[in-house]
């Protein structure tokens, strides 16, 4: 069984890096969604379990993967991680739905789950609007719409509060990993979060959603702000005094717990960024 909020730094960093690399923007299901009482759900990505909790569906959640961080201390069965799952355990839990991260969980895993006759719901998130949409989608399955609506309203309230407050006029470098140095493109939901706070991603034109870059390219972009959401503070920047963000002490470190997953905790990360 898995108790929430455990941490294994090396594997977590790898999971975080791969997570940020694979986000996209649609959702589909292998079967028509039906709402029933006592529905049983398994979530094969941390953010999907976290969104299920925000949907009020915690009691329906019977299986989760490693690095899931729920607010509740409820102990839920572990069924592997986002990339390797325990099929026997999943079958034994008799889920009505298995939520998968379409471009994050390996295609072979998704195919295997379907071949076992499991009802697989494929979910992807790229835009911030996909977060409340997914909460609503899960709530409809669990029959917990009234609980979910409170979180949906809160999400829209925080986003709308900042949305028209700032106009993008400062360049920001979003550091998602520092060994090697990784960032995200302008089509990633992290870029949208930064834009709400008046920041334009310096690597917005990058083609992959997430990719490694070299320090020279950051120096050339000369960002006004550096946002570090890696696991720990990155001290390498102090060597590059010509970068505006370094010269003006505009380096912000925000815990990956607040910005690495597209969930309700992201709101706190956005608040911190907008206040910076």
Is CATH 1.10.10.10 what the domain over 9-161 is classified as, yes or no?
A: no
Buried b (16+ CB within 10 A) or exposed e, 239-268: ebeebebbeeebbeebebbbbbbbbbbbbe
Please report the pLDDT score of residue 57 as a whole number: 98
Please report the pLDDT score of residue 179 as a whole number: 86
3-state secondary structure string, 163-224? Answer: HCCCCCCEEEEEECEECCEEEECCCCHHHHHHHHCCEEECCCCCCCCEEECCHHHHHHHCCC
Q: Give the residues of the chain that fall short of pLDDT 50.
A: 5-16, 18, 22-35
* Contact of 262 with 125, CB cutoff 8 Å: yes
Helix (H) or strand (E) holding 78: strand 77-78
Please report the pLDDT score of residue 274 as a whole number: 95
Please report the pLDDT score of residue 4 as a whole number: 55
Give per-residue pLDDT as tens, 114-141: 999 999 999 999 899 999 999 999 999 9
CATH H-level, domain 170-275: superfamily:
Nitrogenase molybdenum iron protein domain (3.40.50.1980)
Please report the pLDDT score of residue 190 as a whole number: 97
Give per-residue pLDDT as tens, 217-255: 999 999 999 999 987 777 889 999 999 999 999 999 999
Backbone angles phi, psi at 175, to 5 degrees: -95, 110
Distance CA 223, CA 92 (A): 51
Please report the pLDDT score of residue 276 as a whole number: 92
Pull the structure tokens for residue 34: 């039906």
Of 68, 131, 27, nearest to 79 by C-alpha is 68
Backbone angles phi, psi at 201, to 5 degrees: -60, 125
C-alpha triplet 144, 147, 151: angle, nearest 5°: 125
Distance CA 146, CA 266 (A): 21
Q: Please state the domain extents for the chain.
A: 9-161, 170-275
Please report the pLDDT score of residue 245 as a whole number: 97
Please report the pLDDT score of residue 104 as a whole number: 85
Q: Do domains 9-161 and 170-275 have the same CATH topology?
A: yes
Q: What phi-psi label fits residue 80: left (phi over 0), alpha (psi between -120 and 50 degrees) or beta?
A: left
Question: CA-CA distances (angstroms) from residue 151 to 121, 132, 264?
Answer: 22, 8, 8
* Contact of 102 with 123, CB cutoff 8 Å: yes
pTM of the model: 0.85
Buried b (16+ CB within 10 A) or exposed e, 68-100: bbbeeeeebbbbbbbbebbeeebeebebbbbbb
């Amino acid at each position: 069984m898995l108790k929430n909020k455990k941490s294994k730094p090396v594997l977590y960093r790898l999971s975080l890096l791969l997570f940020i690399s694979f986000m996209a923007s649609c959702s589909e299901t292998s079967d028509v969604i039906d709402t029933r009482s006592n529905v049983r759900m398994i979530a094969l990505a941390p953010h999907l379990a976290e969104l299920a909790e925000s949907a009020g569906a915690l009691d329906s959640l019977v299986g989760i993967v490693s690095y899931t961080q729920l607010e509740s201390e409820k102990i839920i069965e572990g069924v592997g991680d986002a990339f390797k799952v325990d099929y026997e355990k999943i079958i034994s839990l008799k889920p009505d739905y298995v939520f998968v991260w379409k471009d994050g969980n390996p295609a072979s895993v998704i195919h295997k789950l379907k071949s076992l006759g499991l009802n697989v719901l494929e979910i992807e998130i790229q835009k911030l609007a996909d977060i409340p949409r997914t909460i609503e989608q899960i709530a409809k399955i669990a029959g917990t719409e009234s609980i979910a609506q409170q979180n949906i309203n809160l999400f829209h309230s925080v986003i709308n509060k900042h949305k028209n407050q700032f106009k993008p006029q400062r360049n920001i470098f979003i550091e998602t990993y520092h060994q090697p140095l990784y960032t995200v493109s302008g089509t990633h939901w992290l870029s949208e979060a930064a834009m709400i706070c008046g920041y334009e991603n310096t690597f917005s034109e990058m083609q992959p959603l997430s990719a490694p870059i070299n320090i020279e390219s950051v120096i050339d972009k000369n960002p006004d702000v550096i946002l570090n959401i890696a696991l720990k503070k990155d001290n390498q920047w102090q060597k590059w005094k010509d970068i505006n963000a370094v010269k003006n002490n505009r380096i912000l470190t925000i815990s990956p717990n607040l910005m690495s997953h597209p969930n309700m905790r992201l709101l706190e990360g956005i608040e911190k960024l907008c206040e910076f």
